[in-house]
Structure 1
Amino acid sequence: MSFKLKLYNFFKLIFPATYSELGVFTFFILLYGILGWHIALDYRIIYDSRIPWDAYFSFDNRSIVLTGGSFERHPLAYYFFNWIRELALYISDGKTNAVFRLALAWFSNLAVSLSILQVFKYLKNIIRLPNSISLLLVLFFGFFSTTILLSFTPENFTYTLFLLTLYNHYSAIKLKKEEKTPALALTLAGITIGGLTITNIVKVFIPVAFEKNLFKNWKKFGSAILRVIFACICFILLYLNRINFKYQHIFDQTNKQYEKFSNVKSIPTWDMIASFFFGGNILLPGFIIRDKHNMKGFEYKGLIMDVYTSWIPYIFISILLLFIFWSYFKNLNKKLVQILMISFFIDIIIHCIMKFGLHTSYIYGGHFVFVYPLLLGWLFYTYRMAPKMLSFLTVIIGILLLYMSINNYYRMTEFFHFMNQYYQ
């Protein structure tokens, strides 16, 4: 295949290639764009040089924009956000003003809109659902709290969402064609996805384990091992270079971070799992205002999520999870479904079992929320020849979408009230 054709296929994979895809992309980039435009120009919450972290929902906007985040969790994000920051500064003539905030918001908007496009492409091209069902599911996904918040937030999770949805779509195409993931693509995915959040690098290698006849052919198995080793070596060398090969810092800082983000006892574990890990990424709960300071004398207000206080959100999340596991058990024999669930289970282990960041796990949604519409898509596929069941699923998802839209709209009005009080 010529380089020109590869480049064409690459852009065709990322950007809209049909009118329906263009419609989905345009709708969300305009919807999120209006939201981000308003927040960036009228409020200083997206980037305030005095506030390094936790202005809203534990996002570390200023810290991320300046440094990419801590090296032990986001090892190569420093380089990526250097480009983001410099480009935003170029647009704003070197000033961290409203134009700078708007540039950051639109970069995030582009990443999230392209993520939703990747989900739509997967539903349409991989699962081969009708456009009507695919549109329903991406609309459902587009109103998740994670996609709404990340659409204007400069964070690692924003770009991780795009990279993971893109890689899942790409690897699904390869597996459907019974082709292996090339070493270069595997390495690039490992560096970018693992570089933004290190635990996600494991997800890059999951599709390799499902390549055709991998465990029946020593040649194919050896090729897979070599590709994974090559990707790991490249990633490790870049990681060590980032910290000047002082690898002991990784273990020291990782232990400190684990202790810091895993010892919250004020909320029952089951409620943090329900309200934050499974719920907060989709259905916004109530908010709590906290007093914060930047450790240099400046005090400010921070907004965090509370647990659910009504039984309705718990029912909502229970129904959604029931559908997700229903889809999984109905499609146990499909390797693409196994890949999605294994990827999801990695996050469940990290946050729900190991309890890392469980009290703020709603901000990690970019690592896994795309699994919901994709597994729902496989559930619709299972009953594609059963009109009554399709109607039932459509009605239930429609009801969930209506409730979520009303709930999240109401909570966002509370968010704007908070900004009007403290961030104008």
Structure 2
Amino acid sequence: MAQFKTKFIQFLKLLFPSSGTELLVLLFFLVVYGYLGSFIAIHYKIIFDSRIPWDAYFSFDNKSIVMTGGSFERHPLSYYFFNWIRELALLFSDGKMNGNFRFILAWFSNIAVSLSILQVFKYLKNIIRLPLILSLLLILFFGTFSTTILLSFTPENFTYTLFLLTLFNHYSAIKLKNEKKIPALVLALSGITIGGLTVTNIAKVFIPVAFEKGLFKSWKKFGNAVIRVIFAVICFVLLYLNRIDFKYQNIFSKTNEQYEKFSNVNSTPTWDMILSYFFGGNILFSDFIIRDKHNMMGYHYKGLIMSVYSSWIPYIFIAVLLILITWSYYKNFKNKLAQVLMISFLFDIVIHCIMRFGLHTSYIYGGHFVFVYPLLLGWLFYSYKESPKMLSFLTVVVSILFVYVLTNNYLRMTEFFWFLNKYY
């Protein structure tokens, strides 16, 4: 019992602020995102409208996700998770799907994203051990990304995936840094929650296991790791099959159907979709396009999507950021914690950029990987901790990128509010 109590306290310290600075960081983002989400929820219907199942803004499926958790082949266990979210929101709104219902949904999203940013801050401060000023710069940069702004008020799988992935990456980094293995129960729980919200992400849970100390030098350690992974996979598979009444044939047919639907869009050159949507759209809003939509039942509405960049400046921004990330990976190639982050990121690059799944709307998938940017930038700063001139140079470059993102995304959000005022 005493051991369980100790583990529980350690988990709370991992999850929530454990210092005054961490508390201020969490409160800052709760207030900023909370004000934004509350205003949108109270004055507009776009967060949840029972007539609009999908694509009201940037291809998010708000109503569909809240009511069903999404398609079982991509989000196998999110049905159960969003049942709890929906019922809690209905409890606070007296059973009505009104402004109060939207307000609670927005605050759930706000809390999840703010805690995600806190996990990134903890990683920068406690794992990489950056100076406070650099950690604050990187989380402010991260906090102005288009993905974190949108997910802070959007009830979606990606919102909670962002939180779970940042939490797991922080936890696994602590374990690897202390040269300890990740317990079987933690692997299983992480696989169920992360993979349950988006099935492909379950692979990311097992990446840190490959970097445990002495894994490939001891048959005993390797066998133990294999058993832990198999145990986690079995738990996940059994719950997945139970969700679909063990009709596993549906998984293959539906998955193939989804792949054909979301991977055969050729209206824009592939290179531009990769830069504008996958690498850029998750960070820097591009131009917006208004489209006519309908809900298959006679109701017509307006949808907002992103187009590719129309100016050369965003492309320069993306190029500079990717150079910094590649530079960080090169400098920290022998660092197992940086390897975990990059391999996880490469996994998404393969799915969306090479396999082209959802590439034309990949700006909505940022919750799966966008946190990698501030963390790898943190490792880049770390690699030059003994070089004041290089640290100053990197600080200036990231500060310029931050100011540009802040300015661009603020202006784009004013356009978003014009859209809300006109149609919602």
Q: TM-score range by the shorter chain?
A: over 0.9
* DSSP-derived class of the 2:154 partner: coil
Q: Trace 1:285-324 onto structure 2 (pairs within 5 A).
A: 285-324=286-325
Match of 1:239 in 2: 240
Query: Partners in 2 of 1:49 and 1:364 — Cα distance?
Result: 24
Aligned residue type for 1:374? L
Q: Trace 1:173-322 onto structure 2 (pairs within 5 A).
A: 173-322=174-323
Aligned residue type for 1:121? K
Given the alignment of the two structures, is residue 392 of structure 1 paired with residue 370 of structure 2, yes or no?
no
Match of 1:71 in 2: 72
1:395 CA displacement: 0.6
Query: Partners in 1 of 2:75 and 2:137 — Cα distance?
Result: 34
Aligned residue type for 2:128? I
1:303 CA displacement: 0.3
Query: Partners in 2 of 1:122 and 1:382 — Cα distance?
Result: 15
* DSSP-derived class of the 2:45 partner: coil
Match of 2:345 in 1: 344
Query: Partners in 2 of 1:4 and 1:213 — Cα distance?
Result: 30
1:2 CA displacement: 1.2
Query: Partners in 1 of 2:25 and 2:328 — Cα distance?
Result: 25
Aligned residue type for 2:35? I
Q: Deviations over 1:300-324 (max 9, x none)?
A: 0000001000000000000000000
1:3 CA displacement: 1.1
* DSSP-derived class of the 1:302 partner: strand
Query: Identity rate of aligned residues, in percent?
Result: 75
The 4+ residue runs of structure 1 with deviation greater than 2 A are none
Gaps of 5+ in 2: none
Match of 1:109 in 2: 110
Match of 1:81 in 2: 82
Aligned residue type for 1:275? S
1:295 CA displacement: 0.3
Query: Partners in 2 of 1:198 and 1:214 — Cα distance?
Result: 26
Match of 2:383 in 1: 382
1:377 CA displacement: 0.1
* DSSP-derived class of the 1:39 partner: helix
Query: Partners in 2 of 1:385 and 1:21 — Cα distance?
Result: 26
Match of 2:147 in 1: 146
* DSSP-derived class of the 1:300 partner: strand
Aligned residue type for 1:394? T
What RMSD, in angstroms, separates the aligned Cα atoms of the two structures?
0.5
Q: Trace 1:112-151 onto structure 2 (pairs within 5 A).
A: 112-151=113-152
Aligned residue type for 2:89? A
Query: Partners in 1 of 2:385 and 2:89 — Cα distance?
Result: 46
Query: Partners in 2 of 1:101 and 1:72 — Cα distance?
Result: 27
TM-score, normalised relative to structure 2: 0.99
Query: Partners in 1 of 2:146 and 2:177 — Cα distance?
Result: 32
Q: Deviations over 1:135-154 (max 9, x none)?
A: 00000000000000000000
Query: Partners in 2 of 1:385 and 1:346 — Cα distance?
Result: 32
Match of 2:336 in 1: 335
Aligned residues: 423
Match of 2:407 in 1: 406
* DSSP-derived class of the 1:373 partner: helix
Query: Partners in 1 of 2:3 and 2:405 — Cα distance?
Result: 46
Aligned residue type for 2:420? M
Query: Partners in 2 of 1:337 and 1:187 — Cα distance?
Result: 23
Query: Partners in 2 of 1:91 and 1:342 — Cα distance?
Result: 41
Q: Trace 1:166-177 onto structure 2 (pairs within 5 A).
A: 166-177=167-178
